[in-house]
Structure 1
């Protein structure tokens, strides 16, 4: 039991500082776009994930640009997403969160970045913690476990976003089918009413002439 408590304590002591290094919370004012940059070498890996926590419809625009200022990946009006890539060219990659679609509402979002700088900070922190530390092996195992948990969380958030988008599409399609059916019914009833009224007046007029 004591060993388990020690392990949990070490897990909290290591995971919390590491998570704090690459997880950020920011406010994006209305009609504003906030941008950040990450310098990558060729084949460097960068992973980004974000989630809108407050504001309006919980949606935000996201775009990431290559060093040549070409959009590499973009989203419009999404509440959360995950994106990762390997740099094909060396240079500064810029990613932006935009709230330009909103005229009054401020958005609060949290996002995580896993790139070369963050990995270097994590390694430096772990090196400081492992100096004269007999639990280095346990810390390494916890580090691997934490990386796996973060990957699962990011993948889960991405799958939830896809499921939410598919559900919205299905709901929208079902609503359109319902409205179209009601419109067809209304038009059919209107045509039937017009035909009955017209025929009734027609026979009344013919009957009046015969008399």
Structure 2
């Protein structure tokens, strides 16, 4: 029983390959990442979210091993999509911050692709001699599938809330900075107006004394 459960988990790990990272995208910069598929017709899912910087948007493109542009989007804040990798080879994911002159961006990025040429878990399950498929093993497979789906949904939800939290913090910091500089400007404006009023009063009295003389 335990051996079967471990085998199912190992099969799950073999079926799914993925990578996740957080990187900093400088102003007027472009960063590219690559994945290599070994089998045709592989669904590739990718997720990205701009955590901070500027208007929280980037441009991105996805190219096939032949150099063809599969996806091209501009000024996107968040993406969670799937496309079909029809041919075997290296696929290119590029993020561009060309629209920003000074603002740097922090981006979360994840790529995941599944091997669909395997016959679900049955192709990777170890054969046990003199045994027949039993109901509880099939139920265990369905349970693992369900857990994997729920964990993936939970991860996406956590990433979404992380993005919202980072953006809200960036908004708060930006608002605090604006209030601070506006307060300084207001104080300087008040001092300048007071100095101008004093100067006008002094000129008024000087003019009055000249007339008296």
3-state DSSP of counterpart to 1:46: strand
1:23 is matched with: 17
In structure 2, the partner of 1:113 is: 113
TM-score, structure 1 length as denominator?
Answer: 0.60
Find the counterpart in structure 2 of residue 147 from structure 1.
Answer: 145
Per-residue Cα deviation, 1:154-207 (whole angstroms, up to 9, x for no partner) = 111111121122222222222222222223222222111111011112222333
Moved more, 172-181 or 142-151: 172-181
Report how far residue 71 of structure 1 moved.
Answer: 2.5
Q: Residue 197 and residue 181 in structure 1: after superposition, are their counterparts in 2 closer, same or farther (change >3 A)?
A: same
- In 2, Cα distance between the equivalents of 1:159 and 1:26? 15
> Following the alignment from structure 2 to structure 1, what is the Cα–Cα distance between the partners of residues 10 and 172?
45
Aligned to 1:199: 197
Q: Deviations over 1:108-141 (max 9, x none)?
A: x986432422x33733222x42553245432221
Q: How many residues align?
A: 176
Q: RMSD in angstroms over aligned alpha carbons?
A: 4.3
Match for residue 123 of structure 2? 124
Once residues 3 and 121 of structure 2 are traced to their aligned partners in structure 1, the CA distance between those partners, rounded to angstroms, is 18
CA deviation after TM superposition for structure 1 residue 22, in Å: 2.6
Rounded Cα–Cα distance in structure 2 between residues aligned with 1:153 and 1:124: 23
CA contact (8 A) 2:17 2:112 kept: yes
1:8-45 Cα shifts (integer Å, max 9, x gaps): 44312321233234335699xxx6632323512xxxx8
Instruction: State yes or no: 1:92 paired with 2:63.
Output: no
Q: Secondary structure at the match of 1:123?
A: coil
Please tell me whether the aligned partners of residues 62 and 75 of structure 1 are also in contact (alpha carbons under 8 angstroms): yes
Task: Verify the 8 A CA contact 2:62 2:94 in the aligned structure 1.
Answer: no
Q: Partners in 1 of 2:20 and 2:159 — Cα distance?
A: 21
SS of the residue corresponding to residue 45 of structure 2 reads strand
Gapped runs of 5+ residues in structure 1?
Answer: 1-5, 52-60, 102-108
CA distance in 2, matches of 1:97, 1:71: 10
Cα pair 1:63 1:73 within 8 Å, conserved? yes
For the structure 1 residues 146 and 157, does the alpha-carbon distance in structure 2 shift closer, same or farther, using more than 3 Å as the test?
same
